[in-house]
Structure 1
């Protein structure tokens, strides 16, 4: 399960790797969730978003445990490895999750992915406003906020929501504006 952190749940693939059935894999993942070792991020749904993927994403609540289980022996090897972006995403999502959870709030988190594999890694739905966040392992990711236009349909119709400020969590050194509604957010600020 640690190898799937930061990706959509695929019970069949998980079952194949563990040499068990898919229903058994689903039950064991429920045990990990109940134990607080894993968090399932549900997809952001709205009636105007027609082509949304409905599978949750799985995140290990402790990136150190996930790294240990995957036998990443130190931070330098992990940072240069194939899963470094997934671990950054896992860490960022869990930091935001904990900031809500520690205040006694149910975290208003989700993600949006369409069938063309375009994704907004984190969607915060707070007081009728949708705040999109991208997470990138870069210091100046270009054009990331263009994906936020996928959420524009939620602003139309009778169940309309406002599209609020968003941002790109990255390795920028300072909080910097991208445009009128979006920011580069240094990962260290989380």
Structure 2
């Protein structure tokens, strides 16, 4: 299927190397192969394939290739230095696309070694906007489908829900057995699996690692390390409470969500909140990656417990306050309070089952599917 990043990645390949990351099986390889069809001589090399690994190590790929796709090279020792040399030595006119299923934070935190040599993009699961474009369906039908199947291409496109469930069971097993094991020790896998199972039941709530650590009989420091692994592998993401002082915000409890809504255990309201969180993160990452906009995703919470599900920021200003509801059309009390406190922000209450849109107390009571379809990605 056509993905939302294909044209912009193709455009950027003409000028710089492109790094494309995202969860396992989110569609990076499919997107790469579709882009290969736009070139006369393209070559795909995967570090996980032994024959391809030898070609990468020897740098013996075809010099005539006008597009090189290198997958999972972050698993190579000293890959950053190696890639710098490849980028600098490539022939004029040769495009380079680097993909990976782990977050390449070192690209952003590595000083000057790769500065100015690449553009980076994060590929996310399918959103309401993408599914409407792909299938020509209404936003309501698209949101229903994504809440049932999740946004990963294979279960989304599966012929029935049974096939989607079979895919998810195998996907979860592979994440633990293969990807997580690369970042942790074998004896930690059981604890890591239990940690993920507990996170599946805590979606949307402020996350107390100390409390979970007591349940699992491990230290909070250990769980913090595990959480960073899960984030690096695009299994979960966290959002921090909004605060002008970023350091203070980071000290407060985050909320955790899954990239695959199908992994969430909870009532329909929690699944809706997770799906909205994923699409909002997709929106902010897209704006950052494609335009350089300082977009951010947060939530708002006070010491007295008043909370709004999500807040979007542009630089140091809040642009949106967003609350999710299944059917409740009465303006959320905390949303009303924060809408008055942050008058520059658009206050929106997204309602899944909505008969009539309204504007009350400075809050737009809006159809969730319709609003999500209006996002940029």
State the TM-score bracket (shorter-chain normalisation): 0.7 to 0.9
2:348 pairs, out of 163, 167, 187, with 167
Greater per-residue helix proportion: 2
C-alpha displacement at 1:30, in angstroms?
0.8
User: Does the 8 A contact of 1:129 with 1:164 survive in 2?
Assistant: yes
Are 1:119 and 2:317 matched, yes or no? no
* Residue 185, structure 1, aligned to residue 366, structure 2: yes
| Corresponding residue number in structure 2 for 1:101 | 285
Q: Which of 87, 90, 105 is 2:274 aligned to?
A: 90
The one of 14, 18, 26 aligned to 2:212: 14
Q: Which runs of 5+ in 1 are unaligned?
A: 48-52, 68-81, 155-161
Q: Distance in 2 between matches of 1:46 and 1:134?
A: 21
- Give the structure 2 partner of residue 158 of structure 1: none
Against the structure 1 CA distance between its residues 176 and 90, is the aligned structure 2 distance closer, same or farther, given a 3 Å change threshold?
same
SS across alignment from 1:167: strand
CA RMSD of aligned residues (A): 2.6
Residue pair 2:331, 2:361 contacting (<8 A) in 1 also: no
Q: Give the corresponding residue for 1:77.
A: none
Q: State the shift of 1:106 in Å.
A: 6.0
Query: What TM-score results when the alignment is normalised by the length of structure 1?
Result: 0.73
Shift, 1:108, TM fit: 1.4
Unmatched tracts of structure 2, length 5 or more: 1-198, 246-250, 373-377
From the superposition, tell whether residues 146 and 39 of structure 1 become closer, same or farther in structure 2 (CA, over 3 Å).
closer
Distance 1:144 1:106 in 2: 28
Partner of 1:133: 322
Larger RCO of the pair (alpha carbons < 8 Å, separation 6+): 1
Deviation at 1:65, TM superposition (A): 2.3
**1:169–1:187 Cα contact (<8 Å) kept:** yes
- Does residue 1:29 correspond to 2:213, yes or no? no
Deviation larger for 124-133 or 4-13: 124-133
Contact 2:322 2:348 in 1 (8 A): yes
